[in-house]
Homo-oligomer: A and B are copies of this chain.
Amino acid sequence: MKPFFQVQDVEQVHGYARALPPLPAERVGLTGALGRTLAADLEAPHDLPGFTRATMDGFALGAADTFGAGEGSPVYLEIGGEVLMGAAPAFSLTPGKCARIGTGGMLPAGADAVVMVEHSRLLDETSVEITSSVAPGTNTLGPADDAAIGQVLLSAGQRLRPQDLGLLAALGQESVAVFQRPLVGILSTGDEVVPVTSEPGPGQVRDVNTYTLATQVEMACGVPRALGLVDDSEEEIRRLVTASLEQNHLTLLSGGSSVGARDFTSQVFMSFESAEMLVHGVAVSPGKPFMWVRAGDKHLLGLPGQVASCLVTFHLLVEPILESLQGRPAEPFARFARLPAVLSRNLPSVPGREEYVRVALQQDNDQWRAEPLFGKSGLLTTLIQGQGLVRVPKDSEGLDAGSAVEVFVFPQ
């Protein structure tokens, strides 16, 4: 039985992606965790820095000793010691005494502030004039100023940046629990497609989608597994999809150039146990033929064979699935910067479907101008010349020149 499928909106596809639970967590070392997504909130296991630290080079002292001090009315203090870096001072201060201290040094007992070396005049080895009055806490960090024990510092679902990894290091976490990277099998099909190493004969073109999809998956923090080219044959497609389904969380199949291939792709996808057709056709250009079959917790995805369409469809419809499996919001263009711009000319569109149009960007005084790249469908080079994409909403007949638009900028 071949069910009838209604073309769905992009938002519905994103809804299915949003409903997916994340993959299980795994622990990875800090230096391998850049860009990975945190699987659990991070609570501070102890106070940070854990002791009172100087944030300037100068003199640790009791702030009360400096009250009234100024350039013209210095106070005189005795130098009662020097704080060594990385050790608790073996002495304490009494009123009238201070200690040399460097940035990062631990304040001795009896001190509650630091006067910068610029606000002091050394008289001899054991006495100093302080020419500035400071309040308690000045030029210091208290024991829990950076973080208090139990405080939630990072939240599950955050992607880890260098500074986040730095915080984990500061708290003694050598490794961190992140969501697993989705494993993604990649298949290209099409009787006219030959491997990159081949010299195409008449009517043939080289395989492009394997390379664009593999690097797009890499960029989305998935693990690409290129399975190669497959003929437009039901048997071959079944064999490779079956193998990929076993080994990967997602299987991407782009192409299927013949009309027959398009039919048996859906038949193959639906032939697996518990297969469920979530999407078969989306009201969007490019991306209309997108197909999504779920088989248990695995996903089989059909993408257009045309290179530019395949690339945009990945970002719009596949990336949200990869994000969701990594515990992130199921957003399209998740790694794209969003740039406000003004449309340089009219952009007509057909109502009833969303459209994503490639644009070049030019800076024009204080604003960015987005120039739609028209041209024949299927050109690789307009994709190369484009810096981003502009969305034309579903019910719009287009956007006028001068409209404010948001450009999704292709990541580099």
Contact = CB atoms under 8 A, between A and B. Distances in A.
Contact of A192 (B105, B191, B194, B337): B105
A30 interface: yes
Which among A162, A191, A311 has the highest number of chain B CB atoms within 10 Å? A162
Interface in A370-395: 376-381, 383-384
Contact of A214 (B31, B55, B163): B31
User: How big is chain A's contact interface, by range?
Assistant: 35 or more
Given A31-B211, A105-B192, A165-B215, A380 B202 contact: no
Contact of A191 (B85, B171, B205, B257): B85
A212 interface: yes
A181 to B, nearest CB: 15
Given A170-B205, A211-B31, A192 B409 contact: no
Interface in A358-412: 366, 376-381, 383-384, 404, 409-412
Contact of A379 (B146, B202, B207): B146
A380 B167 contact: yes
Given A169-B206, A203-B106, A205-B49, A162 B257 contact: no
A189 to B, nearest CB: 11
Contacts of A51: 202-203
B145 A172 contact: no
A378 to B, nearest CB: 5
A257 B410 contact: no
Contacts of A165: 211-212, 215
Interface string A307-341: 11001000000000000000000000001011110
21 contacts: A34-B219, A35-B412, A48-B381, A50-B200, A85-B203, A86-B190, A86-B204, A87-B203, A103-B306, A104-B306, A147-B381, A161-B215, A162-B216, A167-B380, A168-B211, A169-B208, A170-B307, A172-B196, A172-B198, A337-B338, A366-B404
Interface of A: 30-31, 34-35, 48-51, 53, 55, 57, 83-89, 102-106, 141, 145-147, 153-154, 159, 161-174, 190-194, 196-216, 218-219, 224, 226, 232, 257-259, 305-308, 311, 335, 337-340, 366, 376-381, 383-384, 404, 409-412
